[in-house]
């Protein structure tokens, strides 16, 4: 059975099989979580990312962790919030699902997610948290090799959102909506 937890931490310090990078489409570093991961991982990550040819919104690509405690980085490009009428929810769910599929394809057991798209991309944190938890629950309920999924929050407010969703009643329609 897979355990889902939320915590406040610096994602670059977590010793898990993979951390997820809320990347931009070039995969060559940027601000926020992306910049922090690239700085902590060292120049090897940038060199490896240069070979990947970028990444489309909603997709995910895996690299080594380089100088990070995590063995891998799964890079995903979240949607920019445009008011919610431009497929943002579907693209954000795809970020989580495709990251989990990368983890599954590489038989990883632990993964840590940041709050994808909620920084400079402007996705409302409460809506993003619902999509994140619903998508991850739907994926793990279908069966997978993951034993631990962490939602790495950057504030007490975000942590409270995730804890409420994780401790609340399961969403019986999650499998339907997240696939």
Count Cβ atoms below 10 Å from residue 55 Cβ, excluding itself.
Answer: 20
Please tell me the distance from the alpha carbon of residue 67 to that of residue 43, in angstroms, as a whole number: 9
Q: Give the largest CA-CA distance in the chain.
A: 44
Q: Which of 34, 126, 141, 171 is catalytic?
A: 34
Count Cβ atoms below 10 Å from residue 82 Cβ, excluding itself.
Answer: 12
Rounded-to-5 percentages of helix, strand, coil across the chain = 40, 20, 40
Count Cβ atoms below 10 Å from residue 158 Cβ, excluding itself.
Answer: 21
For residue 139, give the H/E element and its range.
Answer: helix 125-141
Please tell me the distance from the alpha carbon of residue 85 to that of residue 57, in angstroms, as a whole number: 16
| Active site annotation includes 141 | no
Return the active site residues: 34
């Amino acid at each position: 059975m897979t355990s889902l937890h939320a915590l406040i931490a610096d994602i670059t310090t977590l010793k898990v099989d993979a951390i997820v990078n809320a990347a931009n489409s070039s995969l060559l570093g940027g601000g926020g979580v992306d910049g922090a991961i690239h700085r902590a991982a060292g120049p090897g990550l940038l060199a490896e990312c240069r070979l990947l040819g970028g990444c489309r919104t909603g997709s995910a690509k895996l690299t080594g962790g380089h100088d990070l405690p995590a063995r891998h980085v799964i890079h995903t490009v979240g949607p920019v919030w445009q008011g919610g009428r431009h497929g943002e929810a579907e693209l954000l769910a795809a970020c989580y699902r495709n990251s989990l599929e990368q983890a599954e394809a590489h038989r990883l057991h632990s993964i840590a997610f940041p709050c994808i798209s909620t920084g400079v991309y402007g996705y409302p944190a409460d809506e993003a948290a619902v999509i994140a938890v619903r998508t991850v629950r739907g994926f793990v309920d279908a069966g997978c090799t993951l034993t631990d999924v962490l939602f790495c929050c950057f504030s007490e407010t975000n942590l409270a959102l995730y804890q409420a969703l994780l401790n609340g009643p399961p969403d019986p329609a999650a499998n339907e909506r997240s696939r």
